[in-house]
Chain A
Amino acid sequence: MQALELIRRGIAANTDIDPGLVSIDSRLDEIGIDSFTLLELIFTLEEEMNIELGDDAGTPETVRDLVDILEPYLTETQGG
Chain B
Amino acid sequence: MTDRAGQRRVVVTGLSILDPLGGDTESVMTRALAGESSIRLHEGEDEALGMRTPAVFFDPVDFEARLGKAVCRVTDPFARLALLAAREAWAAAGLPEREKTSDPRAGVHWGTALGGINTFENGYRAFWKEGRRRLSPMSVVMGMNNAAAAQIGMQFGLGGQASTSSVACASAAIAIGEGYRQIRDGEMDRMVVGGSDLPLALGVLRAWEAMHMLAPCDDAGAPRACRPFHVDRAGLVLAEGAACLILESREVAERRGAPILAEISGYGASNDASHVVRPDRDGQVRAITAALDEAGLTPSSVGYINAHGTATTEGDATEVAAIREVFGDELAARLPISATKAVHGHAMGATGAIEAAITILALDRERLPPTAGLDVLDPACDGVDHIRGAPRKATGIKAALSNSFAFGGSNAVLAFTRSGGH
List residues of chain A with CB under 8 Å of any chain B CB. Answer: 13-16, 36-37, 39-40, 43, 52
Contact = CB atoms under 8 A, between A and B. Distances in A.
12 contacts: A14-B70, A14-B73, A15-B73, A16-B69, A39-B137, A39-B138, A40-B73, A40-B74, A40-B138, A43-B134, A43-B136, A52-B134
B188 to A, nearest CB: 29
B69 A37 contact: no
A39 B134 CA distance: 13
Given A16-B68, A16-B69, 18 more contacts: A13-B69, A14-B69, A14-B70, A14-B73, A15-B69, A15-B70, A15-B73, A16-B70, A36-B74, A37-B70, A39-B137, A39-B138, A40-B73, A40-B137, A40-B138, A43-B134, A43-B137, A52-B134
A80 to B, nearest CB: 21
Nearest to A39: B137
Nearest to A32: B70
* Size range of the chain B interface in the assembly: under 10
Dominant SS among interface residues on chain B: loop
A52 B134 CA distance: 10
Contact of A40 (B68, B134, B136): B136
Interface in B275-297: none
Q: Which 5 A-B pairs give the minimum distances between C-beta atoms? A: A39-B137, A16-B68, A16-B70, A15-B70, A14-B73
B336 to A, nearest CB: 49
Interface in B369-387: none
Nearest to A17: B70
A52 B74 CA distance: 21
A39 B70 CA distance: 13
Interface string B123-159: 0000000000010111000000000000000000000
B15 to A, nearest CB: 29
Contacts of B69: 13-16
A40 B137 CA distance: 6
A40 B140 CA distance: 12
A58 B311 CA distance: 57
A64 B138 CA distance: 24
Contacts of B136: 40, 43
A40 B70 CA distance: 11
B150 to A, nearest CB: 13
